[in-house]
Amino acid sequence: MPVKNRFADWLPEITEWRHDLHRNPELLFDTHRTAAFVADKLRAFGCDEVVEGLGRTGVVGVIEGRATGRTIGLRADMDALPIEEATGLDYASETPGKMHACGHDGHTAMLLGAARYLAETRNFAGRVAVIFQPAEEGGGGGREMVEDGMMERFGIEEVYGMHNWPGIPTGRFAIRPGPFFAATDVFDIVVTGRGSHAAKPQEGIDPTVIASHIVLALQTIASRNVDPVDQVVVSVTAVETSSNAYNVIPQRAILKGTVRTLDDRVRDLAQERLTRIAEQTALAFGGSAEVRYDRNYPVMNNHPDETDFAAEVARSVSGQCDKAALIMGGEDFAFMLNARPGAYILVGNGDTAAVHHPEYNFNDEAIPAGCSWWAEIVEQRLPIT
């Protein structure tokens, strides 16, 4: 079954939905306009139930098939990023400092297209819950929806997600079983020394020097503590001090950063080593370091059987499904896959700017393939016998 003709016919309309969402980006849980847009469409499509306010601003639409059966969840994310858009598009963001730089506008539009089709045809035995999630970009909206009882409320037994991916040919798919996206942790290290005049460094304990040694020492977590066959990223992404003066050695320096891992054992090791390196390095210079380490998104693990099925569906739509590479970025669909079996797939966005780039734009030509994959997931997983 190739791309469904219905979605090719609807492409101009679905594209216009996407462009409307692109003009009006919203961040994290503040997706009130987007959620209302989604809920209005789902009601217009004839969904049997539309529930708003799950996970704060999430939306779920329920579509009953022609016969009874299991319930499958399909999830798209709705939020944008705090980036100033630089695409020059005629439908570019109308909100300064915010843009859909990761394609969530495309994900939402594609799932709306699939929901319209499924509500119209109902050619399946069971029930579909179409899930529109806020706050994927760091807010943990997936966790919020799961903790709000979404899986139990709608009886969801399997759940599937999709993300566009620049560099994969438009409309082609890629997936892998097991660990796929990394756990994403963040840390703050507050280094305290003793401030002094910059011309008299011997009278102080310089936290900037201590922080610099900590930054360099943290690189040994990957190079000397973790097995080379395992994946770990330790990145210090910001350095601040308590003074901006040219002639002052500050009292404090603050380091911020992130740790990415694909294995809980490595995650534990990285946290332990980061904390000890920071504290002991500061102590060696006569200062102190306080570490705050927050575990954010867990590793996103695709379930083997559901991954095989998702790949088969992708091949039926596009003729090919490649094995995806490991990705050290995070994805809070991990919370849904921890709650229920399922799989997450990439759909090609073509030769475009990377996600999270101010010149990125979702490729509307991928819409028919994405809609078709979601619809086929339902029709093939819940066949009428």
Return binding residues for Mn(2+): 102, 104, 137, 163, 356
End-to-end, the C-alpha distance of the chain in Å comes to 18
Name the nearest CA neighbour of 91 among 106, 112, 75: 106
For residue 371, the surrounding DSSP H or E stretch is helix 367-381
What type of residue sits at position 384?
A: I
- Identify the three-state secondary structure at position 159: strand
Contact indicator for 170, 348 with CB cutoff of 8 Å: yes
Contact indicator for 123, 64 with CB cutoff of 8 Å: no
Angle at 217 between CA 216 and CA 223, to 5 degrees: 100
Annotated binding site: 102, 104, 137, 163, 356
**Beta 288-297 vs 183-192: how paired, if at all?**
antiparallel
Residue 133: CB atoms within 10 Å: 33
Question: Could you give the strand order of the β-sheet that contains 321-323, starting from the edge strand earlier in sequence?
Answer: 49-54, 58-64, 125-133, 67-77, 158-166, 342-350, 173-175, 321-323
Environment class of residue 175 by beta-carbon count within 10 Å: exposed (0-12), middle (13-18) or buried (19+)?
A: buried
Environment class of residue 318 by beta-carbon count within 10 Å: exposed (0-12), middle (13-18) or buried (19+)?
A: buried
Torsion region of 197: left, alpha or beta (phi above 0 gives left; psi -120 to 50 gives alpha):
beta
Name the nearest CA neighbour of 96 among 107, 104, 86, 105: 86
For residue 306, the surrounding DSSP H or E stretch is helix 304-318
